[in-house]
Amino acid sequence: MITDRTGPQDHVTSTRDKSVLAVRAGRAFDGRAAVPGGALVLCVGSRIIGVEPSATRAPAGWPVAEFPNATVLPGLIDCHVHLCGDSRNGALDRLAGYSDPELDQVIEAALRAQLHAGVTTVRDLGDRQWAVLNWRQRATAVLFSPTIVASGPPITTRGGHCWHLGGQADSPDELRGAVRQRAERGADVIKVMASGGVMTAGTDVLACQYSLEQLRAVVDEAHARGLAVTTHAHGLPAVVQAVDAGADGIEHCSCLTEHGIEQPGPLLERIAANKIIVCPTMGKVPGVRPPAGVAAMTQRTGTTWETRQAMTARLHRAGVTLVSGVDAGISDGKPHGILALAIADLVAAGIPAGYALASATSLAAEACGLSGRKGLLRAGYDADLIVVDGDPLTDIRALDSVRAVYVHGQAVPPEAAAIPAATSGSDSHSQ
């Protein structure tokens, strides 16, 4: 049982002029493990002040949301989204044609979809020309929106993967300048394209885009400014390079070669030993035809979704920290709001359900630089909660049945999910 040192009645005197809420559920997952017998989560204002046994009486006068047959858990965190992506094939190519007001609408629709799915925090890993950071900065009053952790435009080579988003830089001096620019603009994390990508014509998904010296320049400058670096890396050489450069995270980590996925044991051991966090970007809508670039890549390398699931299982067995993120918004098969499918893919790979849930709560908060603030049901943490029907520890599909979403202690009405304002993650840089 997790509880504050004081009992629920002791908090009554501290709630003056603040909204109060109690959420009682027959089951609870605290971000790391099940809470036996469920829980009563007490929230004052935007914070959790206590997590008590479900049989505990709520303080007098407090509204209590009762969910006897459901599970309460921390709000989910999608660690890899593109809020500028409109969730249709060709989304990244289409970005150049959107006006700024149109792009704002795309961002807001993405946030709504995420929030409806129980995602209360997103890590945006690539916008167009600062669109997400600008949108977040303009927001002055929060209604209902996920917290946004953001990288700004991904750093890439001239003509490299996602070059049209505005992050081209080549020489070590240019790369260091790109990192400084992002730090000055309030980015929370640095995203760099270590390999080519399937969504950008003319780039090679199996090849490195930068030299080791160039990638180290990015990492060294970012670390000097207190920012973490996560690398887009599909090809095996790019994964090795990201490890050699001292990156903090690897997106996809596909370890692709011309002969399929190859995951040398010593490489996996190094990833685990260096505490590099991997987001394998699982999750896709069943039955949707993949974009042409994805189809070509899978044919070239002989990979399947099942081999990708097996890839994540090998990473887990090697002790690598995995977090869940969809690469949401980039295509019909990867729209916003399907994080539950990414979590379910981990379970399908044989990873325990408790770890899979942690990959989208406590472990995800660590990846986003939000440890101590999000990802756990703990006193002092943000009151971002979701309630789902059933028990996701025994049937991960329960995450598809979201009963209630709470952001900063406020219940999100179905018709009001997200917007017109954002919650900045910029006061807590990713470590």
**pLDDT confidence of residue 419:** 52
- The side-by-side arrangement of strands in the sheet containing 47-53 is 47-53, 39-44, 20-28, 64-74, 385-389, 402-407, 410-411
**pLDDT confidence of residue 422:** 40
**pLDDT confidence of residue 72:** 98
User: Cβ neighbours of residue 105 under 8 Å, at least 6 residues apart?
Assistant: none
Q: How far apart are CA 188 and CA 424, in angstroms?
A: 10
User: Cβ neighbours of residue 333 under 8 Å, at least 6 residues apart?
Assistant: 284, 285, 288, 289, 290, 291
Q: How far apart are CA 22 and CA 105, in angstroms?
A: 34
**pLDDT confidence of residue 166:** 96
Equal CATH topology for 8-73+375-414 and 76-367: no
CATH of domain 76-367: 3.20.20.140
**pLDDT confidence of residue 414:** 80
Residues of the chain falling short of pLDDT 50: 1-13, 418, 420-431
Q: How far apart are CA 55 and CA 36, in angstroms?
A: 12
**pLDDT confidence of residue 15:** 57
* CATH of 8-73+375-414 given 3.40.50.12280, 3.40.50.720, 1.10.10.10, 2.30.40.10: 2.30.40.10
User: Cβ neighbours of residue 250 under 8 Å, at least 6 residues apart?
Assistant: 230, 231, 233, 239, 242, 243, 271, 276, 277, 278, 279
Per-residue three-class SS string for 200-255: CCCCCCCCECCCHHHHHHHHHHHHHCCCEEEEEEEEHHHHHHHHHHCCCEEEEEEE
Per residue in 395-411, pLDDT tens? 999 999 999 999 999 99
**pLDDT confidence of residue 13:** 39
Q: Are 392 and 128 a contacting pair, CB within 8 Å?
A: no
pTM, full prediction = 0.93
> Hey, where are the domains in the chain?
8-73+375-414, 76-367
